Amino acid sequence: MHQSKVKFTILANESSAEGKFPNNVKTFVEVAFLTIADVSKLPDDIVTISLLDQDEKPIASFDAREWQRRSGGTFMSSCVPINTDKQNLTVSATTKTAPVADVVMEMVLIHKAPETC
């Protein structure tokens, strides 16, 4: 198993952010998990976190708070199943109400190691 990470930040007074995963995600992605540096900085509105394919079509979308609630317990219980072989992935965060302070997040994808001959 390998992992790919991307940090992204919803800046204060902005309502969206995105981060592009490195192009080394060329194998089957099994699960993803999200960390938020300081959950208290999230705006009161729903913050939608979406994993997008190269055509900007959503593979998975979740509310950031709901995802954060999964974070208690074991590592695997905090993961969200993704199960895709799409490449050139992007994560986006959108909200109707901009936060008053920067919200720093990181998404990690767990994917299969490339097969070698």
Residue 75 has pLDDT above 70, yes or no: no
DSSP 92: E
pTM score of the predicted model: 0.84
Buried b or exposed e, range 3-33, using 16+ CB within 10 angstroms: ebebebbbeeeebebebebeeebebebebbb
Q: Provide the domain count of the chain.
A: 1
DSSP 109: E
Q: Which amino acid is at 11?
A: L
Strands 103-111 and 16-20: unpaired
CATH of the domain at 14: 2.60.120
Distance separating alpha carbons of residues 8 and 93, to the nearest angstrom:
9
Residue 79 lies in a domain: yes
pLDDT digits (tens, 9 = 90+) for 5-60: 999 999 999 999 999 988 756 667 888 888 889 989 999 999 999 999 888 899 98
Residue 45 lies in a domain: yes
The predicted pLDDT at position 71 comes to 60
Residue 75 lies in a domain: yes
Range of the domain at 79: 2-111
Residue 117 lies in a domain: no
pLDDT digits (tens, 9 = 90+) for 81-94: 888 888 888 999 99
